[in-house]
Structure 1
Amino acid sequence: MSCTDSGTPETGRLVLDEPAPGVARLTISNPAKRGALDHAILDRFVALLPDLDHRCLIITGEERIFSAGYDLVSAGANLIGVSEAAFAGQAEALIAHPFTAAIEAIAACPMPTVAALNGPAIGGGLELAVACDLRIAAAGIRLGMPPAQLGLVYSHTGIRAFIDTIGAARTRQLFLTARRIDAATAAAWGLVNEVVPADALADAALTLATEIAELAPLSQRGNKQVINALLDAAAAMDPTAEAALVSLRHACFSSDDFREGVAAFTQKRAPVWRGR
């Protein structure tokens, strides 16, 4: 099976193939923008995943890049000149909603999922990888979470996924310093399960996915469901507290700092923060 989302000259593509029986593979292809997750790619995840009927899914990138994160350059260009009153709503519609839908589609995938990190995984690209069940990384790649460089308050569900994976201390280090870490450090933290030489990554990911696909599918899907239910139960919070966190994120989209962060990123200059 091979199916390529044709996209357009201005957008990225998500390429679907079946490299082994029972194994589906989705490849993020947006080389001009370092694997940035634009609306075409994000919408394709949402459209494709519910219809896949395999025993394991690999998500990877093209050549030597996994994903540089959400396509903020395109989103920022669309926000230039938008009035202050309309900015927050349009920013949230352009950035938060399509990305959230794609992450939720990956997390809801009933089959085991493997992120094969063939290159840098930054921001939304790293959250996409964390939404997968397992991660295997090429030696020498870098990973990082830069929302503080953009004036962005991250979603509480996104941060929770990192806490579930690497604990609160490492999550604080990722989000509050915005520093990149290498693959070896990511493995020591538990952010990735295995590190292999770059030229061996594709084969290693396929070997792992094939082994998973050969196991009992009812057991695999059932155990995944149990694990996710236990994590959800442990992370449950008071509705009032959760509403406050959602409001905090909504407020960030109307802040001066977020508007400045988007403009600075789009214009490739240093931001000037105001703290409001």
Structure 2
Amino acid sequence: MTTAGDVEVARHGDVAVLTLRREAKLNALSTHLESRLLDAVRGDAVKGSRAVVITGGDKVFSAGADTSELREMTPVAIAEYYRESGAVYEAVAALPQPTVAAIAGYCLGGGFELALAADLRVADETAVFGLPEVGLGILPSSGGVTRLVRAVGPARTRDLVLRGRRMTVTEAHSWGLITEKTAAGGHLATALEIAGELAGQPPLAVSVAKQVITAATEASRETALLLEQLAYATLNRIG
């Protein structure tokens, strides 16, 4: 087990576990924490793994981004932010391995966007989700709007984003945003179980299937079918 600043990195067999460790600040995603998480995502423990779990621990996933930092930035500095520490959300989404977010407590703002960047989400009964940015005079800008629209459609995205309301794990599960819901404290064990199952699958097939699923959400029917067929032919040839 290693700790890079505010991020703890551990291995459970073939599964890499990244834990946010800024509990005193409810795991608020400062640029420092984002940078440490980006380092962990790009680090050897993750590169050598076959699945990844991201969690905030037992009580909170993340209460959101440290918006006070961004408010002090110029437009040029904000553009640089998205190229540097703010790139962590897309780095998580682009991992070739399957990723699972293990969620308890607050999962708000940037924390919700980080969870949405994972392939699967497991949440215990204490989890609370929301995107409060519009109420602060800004908007979700780390993939939250884009991923929500693709996951639940524009109407439900407007409901969450424009109203800035919070949703329970039961509602999130009914919308298909949560893969599994657990009793309090059961989120990490369930996430590790799922990640272990994924790690046991042929890694190339999992990685290619993950990429095809992502592409199919934006592609035409004809393009999506072609991607499926080409991917199958490639994997069949390699296998």
Same fold (TM over 0.5): yes
Following superposition of structure 1 onto structure 2, how do residues 199-238 of structure 1 map, counting pairs within 5 Å? Answer: 199-233=185-219
What letter corresponds to residue 182 of structure 2 in structure 1? Answer: V
Q: Partner letter of residue 45 of structure 1?
A: L
Q: Secondary structure of the residue that 2:42 maps to in structure 1?
A: helix
1:87-114 deviations in Å (ceiling 9; x for gaps) = 4444x25865545301110011000000
Q: Distance in 1 between matches of 2:81 and 2:103?
A: 23
DSSP-derived class of the 1:198 partner: coil
What are the residue-to-residue correspondences of 1:84-103 with 2, within 5 Å? 87-90=74-77, 92=78, 96-98=82-84, 100-103=86-89
Q: Cα deviations across residues 47-97 of structure 1 (Å, max 9, x unaligned)?
A: 232342211100000230000111124555xx2xxxxxx74444x258655
2:49 to 54, 57, 63: 54
Aligned-residue sequence identity (percent) comes to 36
- Find the structure with the greater CA-based Rg: 1
Counterpart position of 1:71: 66
Residue 36 of structure 1 corresponds to which residue in structure 2? 28
What TM-score results when the alignment is normalised by the length of structure 2? 0.83
Supply the AA of the counterpart residue of 1:194.
E
Give the aligned length. Answer: 217
SS at match of 1:215: coil
TM normalised by structure 1 equals 0.73
Distance 1:124 1:95 in 2: 14
2:152 to 166, 169, 173: 166
Amino acid at match of 1:171: T
Alpha carbons of structure 1 residues 94 and 30: separation in structure 2 relative to 1, 3 Å: farther
Contact kept in structure 1, 2:132 and 2:164, CA below 8 Å: yes
SS of alignment partner, residue 191 of structure 1: coil
Could you tell me which residue of structure 2 aligns to residue 179 of structure 1?
165
Deviation at 1:166, TM superposition (A): 1.7
CA-CA distance at 1:119 after TM superposition = 1.8
Letter in 2 for 1:129: A
Distance in 1 between the 2:74 and 2:86 partners?
A: 19
Change beyond 3 A, Cα 1:136–1:216: same
Q: Distance in 1 between matches of 2:67 and 2:142?
A: 20
* Counterpart for residue 118 of structure 1: 104
Distance change >3 Å, CA 121–CA 98, structure 1 → 2 = farther
Runs ≥4 residues deviating over 3 A: 73-76, 86-90, 93-100, 153-158
RMSD across aligned C-alpha pairs, in angstroms?
Answer: 2.0
Cα shift at 1:173: 0.9
**Separation in 2, partners of 1:66, 1:134:** 15
Match of 1:24 in 2: 16
Shift of 1:116: 0.4
> Shift of the alpha carbon at 1:138?
0.8
**Structure 1 pair 88–62 and aligned structure 2 pair: CA distance change class (3 A):** same
